[in-house]
Amino acid sequence: MEHPLTTEPPLTTETPETAEVSSAIQTKQKNTRRTALIQKAVIYFLLTIWALIVLFPFYWMVLTSVKSYGAYNAEHIPALFTLSPTLQNYVDAFTTVPLVGYLLNTLIFTAATTILMVAVSVLAAYAFARLEFRGKNLVFTLFLSLMMIPSELVVITNFVTITNLGLRSTFTGLVLPSVTSVFYIYLLKENFQQVPDELYRAAKVDGTSDLKYLWKVMIPICRPTIVTITILKIIECWNSYVWPRLITDDPAYYLVSNGIQEIRENGFGRENIPAMMAAVVVISLPLIVLFLCFRKKIMSGVSRGGLKG
């Protein structure tokens, strides 16, 4: 006997109009998925082509560096691979020319410049972000206006100043003009201003000095941006060419940027391209490894510096 509370579910009959609407929705969803798939395939294809264009010079540089001098000169049509690679060019890069000295000079210049620049930028950015003093906005505006001055004019002014001070062909003359950066000060200032003011007021109530607050609170919170500008400054110093080339006449103070020109002229010679490429690979490798290791920190630090909230 059927239970009185049990009821049969109502039977739904699909009308032609409902079936047509359902079919249209399914077709639209399939078209949407197909369009998204095609767009993704096109994007990946274009990115692959672009990556090959960008990476090919590096591949060609490494390939040329492992070719022997005789094999390279015997090629009437450049080959995209070699069956007899050699490391002799790298041996020559460290024995025939003073490449180690150039690398050591560049390391000293990069370390000194980066440390001083980070210290100056952090202190200046903190002053503009948290301290109150007369003319702060005017001074910061004048700082930003310096970014409008062409770098060539700054190089000329710095050259005259360093020459008058008798600091040419010295590490001091190399380092001094590069210890400040208006852009990095601006980037850090914007990042410091994202830290809530309540933390600063609470620290001042507890009797914390500004330097202690900067060291204990601001720097740990804004560490990604500080790491970013440090890495970018290292890359900038390592690739610096115009200023070291202009201010150093003594080969004992050559960096890798202007030392590579000396290698080409008086080291391997203009014809020994494989040995030159080996030296270039050695010079480029530290920056490539540095960027690959810290690329995420660079991107996150730049994005944090550009957000206000």
What is the structure's pLDDT at 1?
A: 47
Q: How far is the CA of 58 from the CAs of 54, 87, 90, 276, in angstroms?
A: 8, 17, 16, 14
- Say yes or no: 52 and 103 in one domain: no
- Say yes or no: 139 and 272 in one domain: yes
Average pLDDT over residues 38-48: 93
- Say yes or no: 29 and 139 in one domain: no
Please report how the helices 182-192 and 223-239 are oriented relative to each other, as an axis angle in degrees rounded to 10: 170
- Say yes or no: 240 and 291 in one domain: yes
Task: Please report whether residue 151 resides in a domain.
Answer: yes
Tens-place pLDDT, residues 211-223: 888 888 888 888 8
> How many domains, in total, are found in the chain?
2
Tens-place pLDDT, residues 150-178: 877 888 888 989 999 988 989 999 999 88
- Say yes or no: 45 and 163 in one domain: no
Give 150-202 as a DSSP string.
Answer: -HHHHHHHHHHHHHHTT-TTSHHHHHGGGS--HHHHHHHHHHHTTS-HHHHHH
CA–CA separation, 90 vs 41, rounded Å?
41
Specify the CATH number for the domain of residue 130.
1.10.3720.10
Q: Closest by alpha carbon to 247, among 163, 157, 128, 140?
A: 163
Look-up: residue for tokens 């049969």? 8
- Say yes or no: 156 and 291 in one domain: yes
Give 229-275 as a DSSP string.
Answer: HHHHHHHHHHH--HHHHHH--SGGG--HHHHHHHHHHHTS-SS-HHH
- Say yes or no: 56 and 195 in one domain: no
Task: Please report whether residue 297 resides in a domain.
Answer: yes
Please state the length of the chain: 309
- Say yes or no: 162 and 55 in one domain: no
Task: Please report whether residue 77 resides in a domain.
Answer: no
* pLDDT tier for residue 309 given thresholds of 50, 70 and 90: very low
* Its pTM surpasses 0.85: no
CB half-sphere exposure, 286, CA atoms < 13 A:
16
Task: Please report whether residue 82 resides in a domain.
Answer: no
Q: In terms of residue numbers, what domain contains 49?
A: 21-65
CA–CA separation, 184 vs 172, rounded Å?
22
Task: Please report whether residue 209 resides in a domain.
Answer: yes
Task: Give residue 210's region: left, alpha or beta (phi > 0; psi -120 to 50).
Answer: alpha
Task: Please report whether residue 86 resides in a domain.
Answer: no
Q: Closest by alpha carbon to 230, among 117, 128, 129, 120?
A: 117
- Say yes or no: 31 and 161 in one domain: no
Task: Please report whether residue 251 resides in a domain.
Answer: yes
Task: Please report whether residue 166 resides in a domain.
Answer: yes
CB count within 10 Å of CB 20 equals 10
